[in-house]
Structure 1
Amino acid sequence: MSFVKWIGAAIGWSFGGPIGAIIGIALGSIVDNATDSSPLLGERQAGKKWRRNPHQRTTYQRQRTQRPQTRSGDFEVSLLILASVVIKADGKQDQRELDFVRQQFTNMYGKERANMAFRLFKGITKQNISTRQVCMQIKQMMDHASRLQLLHFLFGIAKADGLVTQDEIKQIYTIAGYLGISSRDYESIKAMFYNSTNNAYKILEIEKTVSDDEVKRAYRKMAKKYHPDRLSHLGEEHREGAEEKFRQVQEAYEHIQKERGFK
């Protein structure tokens, strides 16, 4: 599959708005660097199509009043852009974090698609990105369950080098706010990546002082929120990531059950 055809077939609403502009610049740098003998030469003109006519209404602009279903490709490019923001948060790009992104994309999409995504990712990391504008587009166009999955992945990137810096935490917190993710949901997902005595309670979004019945209600609520079926529209490639969050909710509940001795 050619690079441009992969992009064109994979995305929907992310073709427009600030995300589309970022993709266009990254794609343009790829085709502009191609030599006359390169297989990408035939894509050079196609790449120019991404330089949007300012008078042309985009898919993003037309659909602002309704939220279309997020495609796997929309999630993919949103993830690439936000990953680049987090990786640069501490002022450097750690190879372990880059390797984590590549490995996760390989696990989700296969080697060929992951390689194409990583080429695009390199073009994205060279740009100065308005985090607020990108996140506002994602918030408006992407469902809540998918946004939670984005946040889970971003914490995974930050933790990939074994040390989550305060700059990375601050950046992810800012992203969560722009994405319309509540502080409770943010703390719940954050707790999945840290070890502390109250982590199980944070994952279930409750205080340690609640009753056993409240623990059970919280578990049912969180199990519903993080159920993998909520991300089925993203395709089978994202099921493993969805199941990971769901599994951590189950483990948190089982930990509290054992600690309190109830069934």
Structure 2
Amino acid sequence: MSAWENGKGGCIVPILVGIAGFLFLGPFGLFIGPLAAMLFSKPRGRGGVGGFRSLSATQDAIIALVAATVQADGRIMRSELDYVRLLFQRMFGAELAQVALLRLRDLLNSNVDIYTACRVIRMTMADSRRADLVRVLMELAFVDGVASESERTLIQRIAVLLGVTMGGEQAQQGRQRAKVYTAPPVNYYAVLGISPSATDEEVKRAYRQLAIKWHPDRMGDKSEKERERANEMLQRINEAYEKIKKSRGMK
């Protein structure tokens, strides 16, 4: 990522414009130039000019492909947006995810140029990462239950543009992973203190830790009220774990 992409180059622009202002307008231009540059610059995220971070060209391109996939079937589902929110947090971190969501909102109201986005990604991402991205897009297509023909066609076109060979395996993986976001309801994951994007191993680990924490054998020196609460918690934990296991086909 260059200094211009991450915001570190923002301080250079006013200096250069100030020098140009001095050459053309004299001492007065030395002050007006940087001011104009700061007023008319439009940072896209926090941490750069004006306290904003910027999205890199690659990140912006990924968001564009996500937007195109959401648009593909002509409707925007809440389940898709919930998935995208978790995806951006995982990919970009909590702070930059908010910037990415704002960028997504803008793109959803426009015609997305997937060709430019794919060209940027192909130049900046390794083959394996591009293949991962195609799988993520297929997962997104299945989040609302069924991937439409228009979604499949779009993702196949994106795969070709990214130089990724796409077969039935990606579709199957997308369908299986999408179950995490469609059922069971997110509150079961909240009971275990994890997100719907957690792996099967993370689900098992969270369950074991909570089952030990709230097991009756650990409540011997507690009050009757505390023991009752522990039993209720353990029932909720067991129910959540069973629901999640069933939805994922876990053993």
Name the TM tier (shorter chain): 0.3 to 0.5
Q: TM-score, normalised by structure 2?
A: 0.47
Indicate the structure whose relative CO is greater, using CA pairs within 8 Å and at least 6 residues apart: 1
Larger-gyration structure (1/2)? 2
Report which of the two has the higher share of helix. 2
